[in-house]
Structure formats: structure tokens, C-alpha cells
Structure 1
Amino acid sequence: MINRQLRVVLAEDSVVLRDGMVELLAARGCEVVATAGTAPELLAAVVRHRPQVAVVDIRMPPTHTDEGIHAAVEIRQKVPEVGILVFSQHVEATWASRLLADGASGIGYLLKERVARTSEFVDALHRVADGGTALDPEVVNQLMRTGQRSRVDSLTPRERKVLELMAQGHSNRSIAALLVVSERAVEKHVAAVFTKFGLRATDADNRRVKAVLTYLAENGS
């Protein structure tokens, strides 16, 4: 299956890495409509070009601390239709919590050293552009350690594993295959998570997203 072309804004302060990523994405059918080396340039490019996805590094000039993810949160607030894929060497749990506070739809957070193939990165871009979620397991672990421990600690090890896989954007069928259990068993674990987190079924609510975000509520408020 050939992926459709995506319009991407790429923020990366390393010129060599940025140019290499532009070539790789172009070879995979993505159109990099703008690149940015600083957070202000990123914000301006997103507002001007309205891409489907913005790829954001966390640490950018001038202080090389959290300018990139701070800009990602601002993009999320000002241009919510643009997907955000944080691509970094670092996990910033507090800012990630803020980025995810209003929902995980259209959000990704991948660690550079853990992406083994370009195809994985491009697949994540498409997932985020389609309103899905792409979270590295290590990011999920960090967020769970900094969130509402009481509710997470109420989960069994299997329920916690199912929640982690949900946070990575897996469907029940995919989770069942990964854990080598029946889809019905996964449904029971998911239902248990909803119950323990006090999430009631309504037509308007996405309980899967709310389950992932429940333990982030304190940091995201």
C-alpha cells in the first residue's frame, strides 16, 4: 500500500540532520513544505503553511532546553488541526503531559535512538496526520511515573500493559496479537481499566483516550 503524500513542517536545529530528514521524507512521498531551526521559525512556518504534521525536536535554540515542545504546546492550542510529532533524544514528561492534556488525538512522541527504520517514522507521521497516536513505550512509562499513581497502581500488571499498548495507539485486535491472548480477554482488561478509572460510557467521550490521560491530569492541569 502506497501512503498518500503528507505536507510536513520539520523543526530540527542540526542542519545536517535536518537536510538528511528532508531527503528521507521526500523519498517516502512526503512534502516538507518548510524547515525551522528555532521555535519562533517553527511557529511561523506552521501558521503560514498549515501542514498536516509538524515534526518537532524538544531542545532548540537559544537555550536548548524545552523551546521545541513549548512551541508544540502552543501549536496545539492555536492550530489544533495540525498533527504534532515530537521527535527527540529526550523525554520531557511535564511538557508531554501538557501537550496531551486536551487529548492524544493527532499526537506522537518518538525517541530518535529507538526508531530503527525510516518506514516506522513515516508510518507514525501518517497515523498522527489521521488523528491517531504514536507514543514510544519509554515515553508512556515516563508519563505513567509522573502522573496519578493511585489510579495506575490499582491496575493489575496485565491491565497496566494493556493500557500502555492503548497509549501507543494499538487496537484491541493488535493488543491481543502482541500479548498472545484472545480479543475477548483484551476487551475484559480494557473494561476493567475503564471501571477503575471511573470512565462511564457516553456517545461523546472517547474512553480510550481518557484512560490514557487520566494519570496525566494533575500534570496537565
Structure 2
Amino acid sequence: MINRRLRVVLAEDSVVLRDGMVELLGARGCEVVATAGSAPGLLAAVVEHRPDVGVVDIRMPPTQTDEGIRAAVEIRARTPEVGILVFSQHVETTWASRLLADGAAGIGYLLKERVARTSEFVDALYRVADGGTALDPEIVTQLMRGGRRSRVDTLTPREREVLGLMAQGHSNRSIAALLVVTERAVEKHVAAVFSKFGLRATGTDNRRVKAVLAYLAENGSQWAVTDASATRR
């Protein structure tokens, strides 16, 4: 249950959308400590306020191309403790890969239509602030198309379905509810994925993250989608 107030810096050049998001976040218990309409303004706000998470539009002035993602990458380098959730009108897999090149922890990427779904958006913010990852299912789908799937091809349809849900950040309990099976059945499928991917238990066991990393890496990416709790399984 969400029981703390997130401190957020919001970067969006559209004043109307920015004001609407400030109102939305405030109504959901978040504190927007600063807003920015440009990448330099975002960087300055993060340095000054050290928020829990920065919410960043990918396309920002002056070129409306990748200023937001560049700023997000710089924030990751300067203040890795600050979570980053970027959003875009379209699926931009190249930019997502740039942002996640140094690791998936504390990163989110949502389509703007997802932001309108308030509960999903706020849940994603908290997940990112807690060191997890929140990627839009449409982005996951795009990244999983094409390429070789040597290890993935060894999975049964159900195992692939379970892994796909893992890639969207679902826990075993959540997957069980979605597939209308027992949690024990999901655990067996997850164990089978680990085995087929050659992932052995270690002292700091994060096989769940590694399985999704391997899944997406075989489809042209180097990152995973998971929540904070998944990294501890």
C-alpha cells in the first residue's frame, strides 16, 4: 500500500498538460516540487530539489526531438538515486535503449495515453522511485519483435506467457491471478524458465531480472521490466 508522499520534478513543455499533471499528481498524494519546460530547466530543478523521481517528456524544446531523453541520461549519470520516468506520444525503442543502457533500476517509460490512466501512472511512479522499472507493454511488445530467440524458442507457450508478464513487472501472485492458475503453478513455470535459460541460484539471487534481460537481449535489447520486489526473488 502506498503510504508516503513522493517528491516529483515534472518536465513538460506544454503548459496545459503540465498543469494537468501537477493537479493529477497532487490529488494522488504526490508533491510536485518543481516543473520545467526545457531540458536545462529540468536539470537545474533536479540538482536543486533532489526529488524521488523526475517525470520527463522525451520531446522538448528547442528541437522537439530528444532533449528530454538526453537530460534523463544526464540525470542518471549525475544523480543515480533519482528515479526517471519518461513518456512519449509514440514508441521510441531506440531512445528507451539509450536510457536503459546502464541498467534498468529506477527507470520508467510510458506512452502518454498511459499517463491518462491515473492509477497505472501513479503506481509506475512509486515503482520507479523504489528502484524498480516500469515499461509500457507496447514498448515491451515492440522490443520483442524480430531477432533471434534461441533460448526463448525452448519455452512452452505458457512459459513464454509467464515470462512476458514478468517483463511487464508482475509478481508471481499477480501472474497467477491474471492467468487464473495457482501461484504454485506459476512458480513451476518460472523455475522452468530459469532452468532453460541456464540461470542458477546465487547468494544474491536476481534470476528473475536476468531471465527478462536475457529474453529482451535476444530480441535486440539490453534491459528488463520489473518491479522492486521482483529483484529480490
TM-score, scaled to structure 1: 0.88
Return the offset for 1:120.
2.3
Checking the alignment, whether the CA contact within 8 Å between 2:114 and 2:121 is kept in structure 1 is no
- 2:44: which partner in 1? 44
Q: Deviations over 1:10-34 (max 9, x none)?
A: 1111111011111221122211111
- 1:29: which partner in 2? 29
Q: Where does structure 2 lack aligned partners over 5 or more consecutive residues?
A: 224-233
Q: How does 1:164-179 map to 2 (within 5 A)?
A: 164-179=164-179
Task: Give the number of aligned pairs.
Answer: 221
Task: Calculate the aligned-residue CA RMSD, in Å.
Answer: 2.3
- The change in CA–CA distance for 1:212 and 1:39 in structure 2 (over 3 A counts) is farther
- 2:82: which partner in 1? 82
- The change in CA–CA distance for 1:154 and 1:2 in structure 2 (over 3 A counts) is closer
Deviates more, 1:1-10 or 1:52-61: 1-10
Identity within the alignment, %? 85
- The change in CA–CA distance for 1:154 and 1:89 in structure 2 (over 3 A counts) is farther
Deviates more, 1:115-124 or 1:159-168: 115-124
- 2:92: which partner in 1? 92
Deviates more, 1:74-83 or 1:93-102: 93-102
Checking the alignment, whether the CA contact within 8 Å between 1:115 and 1:121 is kept in structure 2 is yes
Q: Deviations over 1:45-99 (max 9, x none)?
A: 2122110011111111222222212322222222111111122212221221233
Deviates more, 1:97-106 or 1:125-134: 97-106
Q: How does 1:153-164 map to 2 (within 5 A)?
A: 153-164=153-164
- 1:126: which partner in 2? 126
Q: Where does structure 1 lack aligned partners over 5 or more consecutive residues?
A: none
Distance 2:77 2:205 in 1: 20
Q: Deviations over 1:155-214 (max 9, x none)?
A: 333222212211222110111111111112211221222233332221224221222222
Distance 1:146 1:45 in 2: 39
Distance 2:156 2:97 in 1: 23
Return the offset for 1:219.
4.3
- 2:212: which partner in 1? 212
- 2:227: which partner in 1? none
Deviates more, 1:27-36 or 1:113-122: 113-122
Distance 2:13 2:147 in 1: 30
1:196 maps onto 2:208 in alignment: no
- The change in CA–CA distance for 1:170 and 1:78 in structure 2 (over 3 A counts) is same
SS at match of 1:61: coil
Checking the alignment, whether the CA contact within 8 Å between 1:93 and 1:146 is kept in structure 2 is no
Deviates more, 1:35-44 or 1:51-60: 35-44
Checking the alignment, whether the CA contact within 8 Å between 1:146 and 1:216 is kept in structure 2 is no
Checking the alignment, whether the CA contact within 8 Å between 1:3 and 1:29 is kept in structure 2 is no
Deviates more, 1:144-153 or 1:52-61: 144-153
- 2:231: which partner in 1? none
- The change in CA–CA distance for 1:147 and 1:192 in structure 2 (over 3 A counts) is farther
